């Protein structure tokens, strides 16, 4: 019984993490394309991405070297953390 609960839990988190990663990729690609300002799908993807990325961005903002970078690495690091989580979950399956 416990094995089944663990299996369901791990697979649910696995699918959720992949879903968040997919939403982040849609948001990243959409930021380069001209979309209508009132596109609900893009607004949703941006809101989810921002909610996931903002804690890592605020953590990274504590470091002077990161603040002086000419580009924002918080999105990349968040995506990296998600992919590491996926790999860990595949190991736990």
Token pair for 19: 């879903």
Residue 76 pLDDT > 90: yes
Q: What pLDDT, on the 0 to 100 scale, is given for residue 85?
A: 94
Average per-residue pLDDT for the chain: 92
Which whole number is the average pLDDT over 46-62? 94
Q: What pLDDT, on the 0 to 100 scale, is given for residue 3?
A: 87
For 78, other C-beta atoms within 10 Å of its C-beta total 21
Q: What pLDDT, on the 0 to 100 scale, is given for residue 35?
A: 79
Predicted confidence band of residue 36 (pLDDT cuts 50, 70, 90): confident
Nearest to 17 by CA among 93, 86, 74, 81: 86
Residue pLDDT, tens place only, 1-16: 888 998 999 999 999 9
Q: Greater confidence, 63 or 2? A: 63
């Amino acid at each position: 019984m416990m094995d089944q609960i663990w299996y369901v839990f791990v697979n649910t988190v696995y699918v959720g993490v992949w879903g968040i990663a997919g939403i982040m990729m849609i948001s990243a690609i959409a930021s380069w394309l001209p979309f209508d300002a009132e596109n609900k799908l893009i607004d949703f993807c941006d809101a989810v991405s921002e909610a996931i990325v903002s804690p890592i961005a605020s953590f990274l903002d504590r470091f002077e070297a990161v603040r002086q970078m000419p580009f924002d690495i918080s999105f990349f690091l968040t995506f990296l953390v998600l992919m590491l989580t996926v790999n860990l979950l595949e190991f736990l399956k």
